[in-house]
């Protein structure tokens, strides 16, 4: 009961002004998306960015092209399970219209930000859908399982994607899971069992030991599933800390693997050892390999491949009818002793090579890189959680910040490293179009080296880029709300797409407040590079203050310039560019910047200079 109360208290504290239906949707969005900032979620709801109240569309859409460019999650809110068949029909019509470009143009005008999300889905052909039914009542586990099985077999669902029901209890469980605290930070130590029924009969041991002079000691064993389950229940996700990702509950391939694991345990547990790929474990030391008692003691270990196997076995342990079968399951384990690996380079190579048999995002492979770990620590010391690994709830960092800086959990800033990479590209390198066009490529070698391994960009610079973007993004969104919609109706669909153009422009102004005479005479953006080749003249301690009213006035002028620029630009077919294609053009961005900085006449120079100064309250 306590956990339910904590959920209710959180809802009231975070979203208290909204009615219960809205709160349920907002919390669901917060838990299923990467957006954890409550105020940002409220703004997105108000501006219909990912939310909509229209019977022809899902209630919420989550599409994150960096996390998974091929998948979109569609949420439908209901009050009674009898509504599900109707929702399935509505969803099929929506998906068909989306694919065939038959959605209403009138709706596009009413909900431009929401349609920007739909446009991204179409542009990336992200038609691998997950359909989630939200219902703010408690259903039994059996009832949910029966409903999911029943409707998943419906062709109008199975031909579109996966089907899931999230009732109030499931949402509370997800909330509690993401807020559960780890018990200890001590190095992991566990005695695993690798009993094999054949041992008692033959007297032979079932281990393979590879211990050559010029290589790391490696042992191959058949660990018992129950041993792995006990280990996971004791340490939870800490046993995956060196993994490039934790177990990630999404994607059709992931769900297929889950299903295969359960089917094997249910129908052929003795063959699990053969059918499953097993796990890879790195450990500081293999302390005790006891052949007589079939146990192995590991210290400071991590399962770097096989998180999905371990977490699924633990889930199946909760199903009483499968407990007996789990006692017959053995998992092949490759255990590598890495005590000589001082800098972690070997573990990184082991992790990368052992995770190439199923889709892993480039971001995952960077999660254990030295510069990422150092950057995460730097942000933690500045009271910000930097997430560098999918599936990681960052509990240790959260607890550290609460303890050392006396901050409440709801006041802790949280940032993902792929978004930080986009901020660096947009601001420090003044390439917002590259950031837009390469959201899901930021961890490829070319972009990663330029953004995260660039010696000209310090961690302090990266922190400042985040702080500026965090402050200004909110200010821009507020200013957009202050602008009379009817006067900029034509440019509304572009406003969200080119938001990082706007923020990059404001960054350029802020960093050159002491050089405004040159700025309002701009010829090329590159003339404002510093000696390091970056666009930063400030430091992380500089205050960022904005005059909201003057910013709104200036943005209105910027949007007028944007609309005029957009109308005159034509592609090679002499047609106006699509919104996304327009936002990717570097030349268009640079022309936009000049239009927004240069005074129309010489006599307007001082007025222009004063406006730019006043936006940031410069005296």
Domain edges within the chain? 6-176, 189-357, 411-615
Q: How far is CA 78 from the centre of its chain?
A: 27
Confidence at residue 166, expressed as pLDDT on a 0 to 100 scale:
93
> Looking at the predicted structure, is the pLDDT value of residue 501 above 90?
yes
Tell me how far apart the 2 most distant CA atoms of the chain are, in Å.
98
* pLDDT-based confidence at residue 109 (cuts at 50, 70, 90): confident
Return all residues near 288 (Cβ < 8 A) that are at least 6 apart.
191, 295, 296, 297
Question: pLDDT per residue over 390-402, tens digit each?
Answer: 777 788 899 999 9
Confidence at residue 2, expressed as pLDDT on a 0 to 100 scale:
40
> Looking at the predicted structure, is the pLDDT value of residue 105 above 90?
no
Confidence at residue 397, expressed as pLDDT on a 0 to 100 scale:
93
DSSP string of 124-189, one letter each residue = TT--EEEEEEEESS---HHHHHHHHHHHHTSHHHHTTEEEEEEEHHHHHHHHHHHHPPPS--SPPE
> Looking at the predicted structure, is the pLDDT value of residue 257 above 80?
no
Distance separating alpha carbons of residues 383 and 379, to the nearest angstrom: 6
> Looking at the predicted structure, is the pLDDT value of residue 198 above 70?
no
Average pLDDT in the chain: 85
Residue of 40, 69, 66, 63 whose CA lies nearest to 435: 66
Which neighbouring-strand residues pair with 133?
Answer: 76, 165
Question: pLDDT per residue over 548-579, tens digit each?
Answer: 999 999 999 999 999 999 989 998 888 888 88
Cβ 126 vs Cβ 69: under 8 Å: yes
Confidence at residue 153, expressed as pLDDT on a 0 to 100 scale:
83
* Alpha helices by DSSP H, 301-369: 307-317, 323-326, 345-354, 362-365
The average pLDDT across 196-205 equals 54
Residue of 555, 574, 587 whose CA lies nearest to 491: 555
Which tops the pLDDT comparison, 43 or 587?
A: 587
Q: Are strands 413-416 and 384-387 parallel, antiparallel or unpaired?
A: parallel
The average pLDDT across 171-193 equals 68
Question: pLDDT per residue over 425-451, tens digit each?
Answer: 999 999 999 998 888 789 988 999 999
Question: pLDDT per residue over 325-380, tens digit each?
Answer: 998 899 999 998 887 655 567 777 777 666 555 556 778 888 889 999 999 999 99
């Amino acid at each position: 009961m306590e956990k339910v109360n904590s959920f209710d208290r959180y809802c009231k504290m975070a979203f208290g002004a909204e009615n219960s239906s809205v709160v349920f949707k907002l919390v669901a969005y917060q838990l299923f998306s990467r957006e954890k900032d409550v105020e940002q979620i409220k703004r997105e709801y108000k501006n219909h960015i990912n939310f909509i109240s229209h019977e022809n569309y899902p209630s919420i859409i989550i599409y994150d092209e960096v996390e998974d460019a091929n998948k979109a999650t569609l949420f439908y809110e209901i009050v009674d399970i009898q509504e599900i068949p109707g929702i399935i029909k509505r969803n099929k019509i929506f998906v068909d219209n989306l694919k065939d470009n038959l959605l209403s143009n009138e709706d596009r005008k009413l909900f431009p930000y929401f349609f920007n999300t739909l446009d991204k889905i179409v542009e990336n052909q992200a038609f691998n859908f997950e359909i989630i039914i939200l219902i703010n009542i408690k259903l039994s586990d059996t009832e949910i399982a029966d409903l999911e099985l029943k409707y998943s077999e419906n062709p109008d669902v199975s031909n579109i994607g996966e089907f899931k029901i999230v009732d109030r209890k499931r949402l509370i469980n997800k909330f509690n899971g993401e807020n559960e605290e780890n018990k200890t930070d001590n190095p992991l130590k566990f005695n695993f069992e690798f009993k094999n029924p054949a041992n008692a009969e033959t007297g032979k041991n079932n281990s393979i030991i590879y211990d050559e002079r010029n290589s790391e000691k490696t042992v191959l064993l058949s660990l018992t599933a129950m041993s792995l389950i006990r280990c996971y229940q004791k340490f939870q996700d800490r046993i995956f800390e060196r993994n490039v990702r934790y177990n990630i509950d999404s994607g059709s391939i992931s769900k297929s693997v889950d299903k295969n694991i359960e089917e094997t345990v249910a129908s052929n547990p003795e063959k699990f050892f053969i059918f499953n790929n097993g796990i890879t474990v790195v450990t500081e030391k293999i302390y005790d390999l006891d052949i007589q008692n079939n146990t192995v003691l590991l210290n400071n270990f991590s399962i770097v491949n096989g998180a999905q196997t371990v977490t699924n076995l633990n889930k199946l342990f909760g199903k009483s009818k499968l407990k007996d079968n789990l006692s017959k399951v053995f998992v092949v384990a490759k255990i590598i002793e890495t005590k000589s690996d001082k800098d972690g380079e070997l573990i990184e190579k082991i992790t990368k090579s052992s995770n190439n048999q199923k889709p892993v995002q480039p971001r995952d492979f960077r999660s254990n890189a030295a510069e990422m770990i150092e950057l995460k620590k730097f942000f933690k010391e500045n009271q910000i959680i930097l997430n560098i690994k999918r599936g990681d709830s960052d509990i240790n960092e959260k607890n550290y910040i609460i303890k050392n800086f006396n901050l409440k959990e709801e006041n802790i800033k949280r940032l993902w490293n792929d978004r930080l990479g986009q901020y660096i590209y947009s601001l420090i390198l003044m390439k917002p179009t590259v950031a837009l066009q390469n959201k899901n490529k930021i961890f490829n070698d070319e972009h990663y080296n330029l953004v995260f391994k660039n010696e000209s960009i310090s961690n302090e610079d990266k922190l400042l880029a985040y702080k500026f973007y965090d402050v200004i993004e909110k200010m821009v969104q507020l200013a957009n709300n202050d602008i009379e919609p009817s006067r900029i109706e034509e440019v509304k669909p572009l406003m969200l797409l080119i938001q990082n153009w706007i923020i990059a422009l404001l960054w350029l102004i802020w960093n050159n407040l002491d050089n405004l005479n040159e700025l309002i005479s701009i010829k090329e953006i590159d003339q404002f590079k510093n000696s390091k080749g970056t666009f930063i003249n400030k430091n992380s301690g500089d205050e960022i203050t904005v005059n909201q009213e003057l910013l709104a006035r200036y943005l209105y002028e910027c949007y007028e310039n944007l609309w005029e620029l957009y109308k005159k630009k034509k592609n090679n077919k002499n047609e106006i560019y699509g919104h996304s294609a327009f936002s990717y053009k570097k030349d268009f961005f640079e022309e936009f910047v000049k239009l927004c900085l240069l005074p129309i006449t010489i006599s307007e120079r001082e007025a222009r200079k004063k406006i730019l100064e006043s936006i940031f309250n410069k005296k």
